[in-house]
Structure 1
Amino acid sequence: METIVDEPQWLRTASWLGCPLLGAALGWFLQSISGWVASLSWVPFKGPFQLVSDMPSPWGLVTGLGVGVALGLAFAAVWAHERLIVKVTPTRVTLTTKGRSRAYEAELQAVFLDGKELVLIASDGRELARQKGDVDREAVAKAFTEHGYPWHAEPPAVK
């Protein structure tokens, strides 16, 4: 039996839909104010704003929306790439992030969250893993306790 702790499906879907939509809205907004920004004497780097404001009517809008959508998709891709997925079985813990998985089969002395970092401590006191990720604290605690791992609500005191 394996327990997987990951972002909820609705959040993964929302990131792939919401980020490009927000990017498009930002692109539209920046395109719509580009002429005004380019007219301000104190604004540095007026060139890109002037370039966008000088584009013929539909192409400035299309460019603004397209760049916004592309940046939103890039942000969603980075978000997906950086997320931490925790798989727990009675004999193995697998941490996946940035396209890489690491499996740990050692006996553990402690498992806990230190801020946003999931920490695995081996029975000899060595830190096996410290992985940053936005995991649901309750879900990860439940996954480890259900499989018999020594979950600690707070980082244990160092001996």
Structure 2
Amino acid sequence: MVVWPGLSAGLSVYLVSSEPTVLSLSRLDRALIVLGPVTVGVLLALVLPPLARWLVGLGIALPFGFVVKAVAGVGGGWQLAVQAVIFGVLGLLVTAEILRRVTRITVADDVVELLTAGDRRTFARIDIGALYPERDLLIMLDPDSRRMFHGEPGASKAAMGQAFRDHGYPWHDTDPFGELYSRWEPESGRLPIEAEAVLSARAVALRKKAGTEAGELRETLQKLGYTVRDDGDKQFWRPLVRR
């Protein structure tokens, strides 16, 4: 673990407010999430049968031809209505999954509460070393730069930055340790054997899309004094940094 004196020294002091700030989906975003997948599903149910009939009429070999022929056989009336209902239900399932993954954030002067899919986690301000956005995620680090939380917030980056700064939290517009990351290359000799083994196992987990296992292996790596972030199936590591 290395020491990073500039992080704490560079923090600004903010006046804190007394009322908690709740960050969640806007009404427009929620409406789009609720109505969008269902609408797309119903439209697909209406468009796919004539499109499939046109493809079958071309008389060429098609991948998954039996599926195309089955869709082409859907006529009007009740058959089309049943297909529209099925696709609409699939759209609702997509909506439910999106809403399940969205994190509702409550920012108070002394604590942050994160609610995701019924799982409520609370972090005291004194235990938070840095907060920043990474693509569509909110990342929270502890004072030793370990990743404590990452999730998909419903609020925009601008809204999160404003709320956390207003309540005196160490918000950063980008990863404050971004320059310390190196791409992991197997057996590069730059890491201890134990860390290499963890990253090797984690590479397998990423290829298998095993998110839970990859998260557990990140925790193991952090116990060894390193952390990791992902770009697809590529891993980038850095040493932990004490504030």
TM value normalised by structure 2: 0.58
Do the aligned partners of residues 125 and 16 (structure 1) sit closer, same or farther apart at CA in structure 2, a change above 3 Å counting?
Answer: closer
Instruction: Decide which moves more: 145-154 or 46-55.
Output: 46-55
Whether the aligned pair in 2 keeps the contact of 1:117 and 1:131 (CA below 8 Å) is: yes
Indicate yes or no: 2:57 matched with 1:16. Answer: no
Whether the aligned pair in 2 keeps the contact of 1:111 and 1:152 (CA below 8 Å) is: yes
Whether the aligned pair in 1 keeps the contact of 2:23 and 2:154 (CA below 8 Å) is: no
Specify the alignment match of 1:122 in structure 2.
Answer: 142
Specify the alignment match of 1:76 in structure 2.
Answer: 95
Structure 1 CA distance for aligned equivalents of residues 170 and 125 of structure 2: 13
| 3-state secondary structure, aligned to 1:111 | strand
Q: How does 1:1-159 map to 2 (within 5 A)?
A: 1-39=19-57, 40-55=59-74, 57-107=76-126, 108-133=128-153, 135-157=155-177, 159=241
TM value normalised by structure 1: 0.84
Unpaired runs of at least 5, structure 1: none
Which amino acid is 1:13 matched to? A
Structure 1 CA distance for aligned equivalents of residues 50 and 82 of structure 2: 11
Task: Provide, for residues 11-51 of structure 1, a one-character-per-residue CA deviation record: whole Å limited to 9, x for no partner.
Answer: 11222122211210111100222323344431122323333
Task: Provide, for residues 53-83 of structure 1, a one-character-per-residue CA deviation record: whole Å limited to 9, x for no partner.
Answer: 3345413321331222122112111111111
* Equivalences, count: 159
Unpaired runs of at least 5, structure 2: 1-18, 181-240
Q: How big is the alpha-carbon RMSD for the aligned residues of Structure 1 and Structure 2?
A: 2.2
